[in-house]
Amino acid sequence: MLPQSTDTLFTQAVHEQWTSEMDWLWLAAKVERTDQLIVCLENALRLNPNNENTQQQLRALQHTFDGKKTSATLRKFISSTKQLLF
């Protein structure tokens, strides 16, 4: 079985309305488009509005990035957060 592209996984997650915060955070670490990353973080926060790390990441995105590729710094931050969660 071939691995799914992140775009395919993102579309599947949105359509299936994933109900796991961890799934959305995992997908956030995989997607490359900022608009998809924002949706992932928003959905994770919808499931756990008290997650301060996710709140911080989303605020940084909303104030700094313009919908293109995420910066290496943000990607590293998300990756390190993901490691703390698992």
Q: What angle do CA 75, 65, 16 make, to 5 degrees?
A: 65
Q: What is the predicted pLDDT for the residue at 67?
A: 46
- Residue 37 phi, psi (nearest 5): -60, -45
**Cα(21)–Cα(58) distance, integer angstroms:** 14
Report residue 24 as tokens: 């959305």
Domain ranges of the chain: 6-85
pLDDT exceeding 90 applies to what percent of the chain? 22
Answer whether 0.75 is exceeded by the pTM: no
Per-residue pLDDT averaged across 39-62, rounded?
92
Q: What is the predicted pLDDT for the residue at 84?
A: 45
Amino acid letter, residue 43: N
Terminal CA-CA length for the chain: 25
58 within 8 A of 41, measured Cβ to Cβ: yes
**Cα(39)–Cα(20) distance, integer angstroms:** 14
